[in-house]
Amino acid sequence: MANLGNPKNTIEVLQKYHFNFQKKYGQNFLIDPHVLDKIIGESGIEKEDMILEIGPGIGTMTQYLAEVAREVVAIEIDKNLIPILEDTLSEYKNITVINQDVLKVDLRKLVMEKNQGRPIKVVANLPYYITTPIIMELLESKLPIESITIMVQKEVAERMQQTPGSKEYGALSLAVQYYAKPEIVANVPPNCFMPRPKVGSAVIRLTLHQNPVIEVEDEEFMFHLIRASFNQRRKTLINGIGNAPNINVGKEEVKAALEEMGLSENIRGEMLSLEEFARLSNLLRKK
């Protein structure tokens, strides 16, 4: 089967199957071999690895992954792409294609069956409309994942690695950094895709922490605090948390906790580091 990293071959496949891009699935297929090589290189795949790919499209990156990994499981939501994938991947014996929504797949069971519960690597060119839910599902599910190397909207990639005090820093930055070390490894212009997206993209690698980077007594409570702190960015932390309907903590208690931490009562959530949110969470839990 022809290498799909070549745009000419991609066009031939799409014409052969009269394929129409679905806006609702946010389909943008990669057509740049250099970018594909870069993704494969940065994902650090070894020949014994099992790879989970989300949104294989017509199988462009899947072909590259199958060349270097022991096994590739590709989850594709669009049933119109299944016959195309059967064709473009027919020569590979180490690929399983699942026609389903990744957010509805029992990934833990899949990893047990295909990899005996050993850590897997995730590599994907994610649809932009659903990037954050997919990333959060992968991180929060505590699956045995070693790393996640994904193509996302450039702005989202930058948000993931922001630090306190910048205007892009927010709940996503904190959540990602709690679970993993984010690193942008490539910027990808719109002309590397078909059809061309309106925004620039970036490849980001999330290397999951083997051990927690902070000590927090109640993870869920901490993330409630974080979300409340960024729901209304202009508000002080005391007001953000004090007004949150799902957090049973009064403004006086938040004020006292901040005082104990040596922080101003007028501070906003965007100024607190992950460590500080953990400490605040631990203090408020006691109260």
pLDDT digits (tens, 9 = 90+) for 208-263: 999 989 999 999 999 999 999 998 888 899 999 988 888 989 999 999 999 999 99
The kind and range of the H/E element at 76 are strand 71-76
Q: Of 182, 181, 184, nearest to 213 (Cα)?
A: 181
pLDDT of residue 1: 62
C-alpha 222/C-alpha 234 separation (Å) is 20
Looking at the chain, the whole-number percentage of residues with pLDDT higher than 70 is: 100
Please count the CA atoms within 13 angstroms of the CA of 15 that sit on its side-chain side: 6
Q: 30 has which bridge partners?
A: 193
Which amino acid, residue 193? Answer: F
The kind and range of the H/E element at 8 are helix 7-16
User: What is the dihedral sign for C-alpha 51, 126, 37, 93?
Assistant: positive
30 pLDDT above the threshold of 90: yes
pLDDT of residue 6: 83
Residue 90 pLDDT grade (very low, low, confident, very high; cuts 50, 70, 90): very high
pLDDT of residue 22: 78
Average pLDDT over residues 49-63: 97
Which amino acid, residue 31? Answer: I
Average pLDDT over residues 145-164: 97
C-alpha 283/C-alpha 287 separation (Å) is 7
Higher pLDDT among residues 2 and 185, named by residue:
185
Average pLDDT over residues 67-89: 96
Q: Give the contacts of 3 (CB within 8 A, at least 6 positions apart).
A: 9, 33, 63
Residue 277 pLDDT grade (very low, low, confident, very high; cuts 50, 70, 90): very high
Largest CA distance in the chain: 67
DSSP H helical ranges for 141-170: 154-160
Mean pLDDT of the chain: 94
C-alpha 106/C-alpha 161 separation (Å) is 29
Average pLDDT over residues 84-104: 97
Hey, what domains does the chain have and what are their CATH numbers? 7-208 (3.40.50.150), 219-286 (1.10.8.100)
Higher pLDDT among residues 156 and 232, named by residue:
156
CB count in 10 Å sphere of residue 216: 20
287 pLDDT above the threshold of 80: no
| Model confidence pLDDT, tens digit, residues 115-147 | 999 999 999 999 888 999 999 999 999 899 999
